Copies of this chain bind each other. A is one copy, B any other.
Amino acid sequence: MNFSVSEENYIKSIYHLQQQSDTVTTNSLANELQTKPASVTDMLKKLQLKKLLEYEKYRGFRLNATGNKVALNIVRRHRLWEYFLVTKLGFEWNKVHDIAEELEHVSSMELIQKLDNFLNYPQTDPHGDPIPDMNGKVHIIKQVNLAEAPIKKNLAVSSVSNQSQEMLELLNHYHIGIGTELKVNLRFSFDGSVEIKVLKHASCIISEQVAKNIFVYHD
């Protein structure tokens, strides 16, 4: 089955909203897509007709198994391109979203297969979000933020939830990026600040506010 750019955008947005909260509404979807509720209703009917949605007038809607699979495929394409843009073209990871948004709609299966191979089958995108595999399987990694991470264990940065330019500056200054290996030396209960030791760099202290945004996994 083949989908228009617009259809793909709706499917992807529904998928994302479903991850965050299980009640996706016409309004929230309209808001997410920067469009009007009436347009959303039109598309919902269309997606129901194409058997990607369970949908009952006024009562709500939800991606079915097929819709989910389609969504995961789009997410896969998006994240692979983001990974490409950052690791190969040298984009900063807070600049790649919009471009990946366009690239993700290029539909060749073979292209994505070969891109995946070229990138060496990455597990997560530059923001630390997992890349679904060909079959839509998502490899879930248990991650904790630095404000709650265990002390004196080897950790690796898996994702950062705030992707503003300001945060990026701060992270660059402390030599922190996705994949960076570090340890938490100690945590100050007074203000929740954390002393960390980034591999090959001097230890430093980060505020709780920052720590909460940095997610890590430990092996």
Contact = CB atoms under 8 A, between A and B. Distances in A.
A115 B99 contact: no
A106 B103 contact: yes
A106 B102 contact: yes
Interface stretch (A26-34, A87-95, A211-219): A87-95
Contacts of A99: 106, 108, 110-111
Contacts of A88: 118
Question: Chain A interface: which size bin?
Answer: 10 to 19
A114 interface: yes
A88 B111 CA distance: 11
Nearest to A102: B106
B106 A89 contact: no
A106 B108 CA distance: 15
A66 interface: no
Contact of A107 (B89, B102, B114, B115): B102
A143 B117 CA distance: 35
Nearest to A5: B5
B89 A114 contact: yes
Interface in A90-146: 90-91, 98-99, 102-103, 105-108, 110-111, 114-115, 117-118
Contacts of A91: 110, 114
Contact of A118 (B89, B110, B114): B89
B90 A114 contact: yes
Contacts of A117: 89-90
Contacts of A98: 108
22 contacts: A85-B111, A85-B114, A88-B118, A89-B114, A89-B117, A89-B118, A90-B114, A90-B117, A90-B118, A91-B110, A91-B114, A98-B108, A99-B106, A99-B108, A99-B110, A99-B111, A102-B105, A102-B106, A102-B107, A102-B108, A103-B103, A106-B106
